[in-house]
């Protein structure tokens, strides 16, 4: 049976995938598309004696093939189990990447029908909920990551967090590969850091947030989340790709009342090759469905790979209106320092969490002054004052500009 039908008009309940298809030499793009459609739905490599007429109605439709290799395929939503991301991905992003007819294949985007979208919980808090917790209405939130990412004991870790908060950071989080190592045990770290959070709140009069990394086996991860909540912390962080989407969904459905901060470690294994794999936009949409509240999207200006257009597209994918699913707070992190703040806000806007690790702790005068410089940079942008002008009366910002942005 053929799956190509350029006259097909998708139904509201169709799930539509946008692929970039590059067939192998001497394989037509039409043949490649037929193979993709078959393998991702009801077909296989040969004719079947078991293919009943009713089953054929579940077949997808390849309704657009462009010269560029961009292909649109509409799948009946009956092919998918609602509320089951692993099953959906096993279909639209499963065996198809290993097929012989394909040289390169990239899943660029997915349009989920309403019935599938509404089968997921989505974020509990979203941008508005996070801002309400922090009592910050308009400006970008300022965060940092404890550095060095590994090696500090729990007491020193807590002290670095304290210095970051009193300097002006709203949020302080663990890095992606710090969990429960012997030099910095999870429970001890959480207790000591929350003690420093309370002290920083009392001294500054501002709400401060600690985001511990709970990434682990699913059951252990949920136990860590419960421990965090019992000790008065409102946040947890998960490395969502390495932990797995179903593990994240399990945590969300525990409904512990915690903000879920999603780190995307390992995403580039899927997203970096622009001809093959899965786009960050797709991973971001899935993350929003399963219920994360904050998500790393790239920076377009820092150390990590990711073109501006991709970062903006991902940001729009997690913040635009999507039925009754709440939005996700975009997080930008990776090589950021005060000198990059104006450009970053200009690209992404005010609804952003600016996380600087080295850009805070690498300040010539230490962590506290580094946090002050980041906050000053945000304040300058919010008041429409050029950084160089604002730095004349804020020496912490000036020292940061002298180190990382000497040419202005």
What gap in Å lies between CA 278 and CA 271, rounded to an integer? Answer: 5
**What is the DSSP-derived secondary structure letter of residue 322?**
B
Backbone angles phi, psi at 360, to 5 degrees: -105, -55
* Tokens read off for 97: 């990447």
User: Would you state the structure tokens that stand for residue 368, as one six-digit string?
Assistant: 């506290």
CA distances from 218 to 28, 224, 227, 230, 287 (A): 44, 10, 14, 18, 17
Catalytic residue among 18, 61, 147, 261: 147
C-alpha 324/C-alpha 327 separation (Å) is: 9
Tokens standing for residue 169: 């950071």
Residue of 61, 263, 296, 337 marked active site: 263
CB atoms < 10 A from the CB of 322, how many?
17
d(CA 76, CA 55): 12
* Residue 147 among the catalytic residues: yes
Q: What is the CA radius of gyration of the chain?
A: 23
CA dihedral 76, 80, 85, 87 (to 10 degrees): -130
In the structure encoding, which two tokens stand for residue 47, read together?
Answer: 């004719």
Longest dimension (CA), the chain: 80
Which secondary-structure segment (H or E) carries 32?
Answer: helix 29-39
DSSP-derived 3-state class of residue 286: helix
Residue 347: both structure tokens together:
């690209």
Compute the distance between CA of residue 96 and CA of residue 100 in angstroms, rounded to an integer: 9
- Report the catalytic residues: 147, 263
């Amino acid at each position: 049976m053929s799956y190509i039908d350029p006259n097909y008009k998708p139904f509201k309940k169709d799930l539509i995938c946008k692929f970039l298809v590059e067939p192998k030499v001497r394989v037509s793009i039409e043949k490649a598309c037929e193979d993709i459609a078959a393998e991702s739905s009801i077909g296989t490599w040969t004719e079947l004696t078991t293919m009943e007429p009713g089953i054929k109605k579940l077949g997808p439709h390849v309704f657009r093939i462009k010269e560029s290799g961009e292909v649109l395929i509409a799948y009946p939503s009956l092919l998918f189990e609602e509320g089951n991301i692993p099953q959906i991905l096993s279909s639209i992003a499963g065996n198809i990447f290993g097929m012989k007819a394909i040289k390169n294949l990239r899943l660029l985007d997915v349009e989920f029908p309403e019935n599938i979208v509404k089968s997921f919980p989505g974020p509990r808090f979203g941008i508005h909920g996070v801002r309400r917790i922090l009592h910050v209405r308009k400006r970008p939130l300022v965060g940092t990551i404890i550095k060095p990412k590994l090696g500090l004991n729990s007491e020193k870790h807590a002290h670095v967090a304290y210095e970051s908060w009193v300097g002006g950071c709203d949020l302080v989080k663990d890095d992606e590969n710090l969990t429960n190592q012997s030099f910095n045990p999870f429970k001890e770290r959480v207790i000591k850091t929350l003690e420093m959070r309370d002290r920083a709140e009392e001294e500054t009069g501002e709400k401060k947030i600690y985001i511990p990394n709970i990434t682990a086996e699913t059951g252990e991860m949920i136990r860590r989340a419960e421990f965090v909540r019992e000790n008065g912390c409102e946040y947890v962080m998960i490395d969502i790709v390495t932990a797995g989407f179903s593990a994240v969904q399990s945590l969300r459905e525990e409904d512990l009342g915690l903000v879920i901060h999603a780190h995307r470690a390992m995403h580039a294994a899927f997203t970096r090759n622009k001809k093959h794999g899965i786009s960050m936009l797709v991973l971001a949409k899935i993350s929003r469905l399963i219920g994360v509240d904050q998500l790393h999207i790239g920076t377009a200006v820092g150390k990590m790979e990711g073109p501006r257009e991709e970062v903006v597209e991902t940001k729009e994918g997690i913040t635009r209106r999507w039925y009754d699913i709440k939005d996700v707070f975009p997080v930008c992190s990776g090589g950021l320092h005060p000198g990059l703040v104006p450009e970053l806000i200009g690209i992404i806007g005010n609804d952003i969490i600016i996380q600087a690790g080295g850009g805070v702790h690498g300040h010539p005068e230490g962590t506290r002054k580094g946090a002050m410089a980041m906050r000053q940079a945000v304040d300058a942008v919010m008041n429409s004052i050029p950084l160089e002008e604002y730095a004349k009366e804020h020496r912490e910002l000036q020292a940061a500009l002298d180190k990382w942005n000497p040419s202005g």
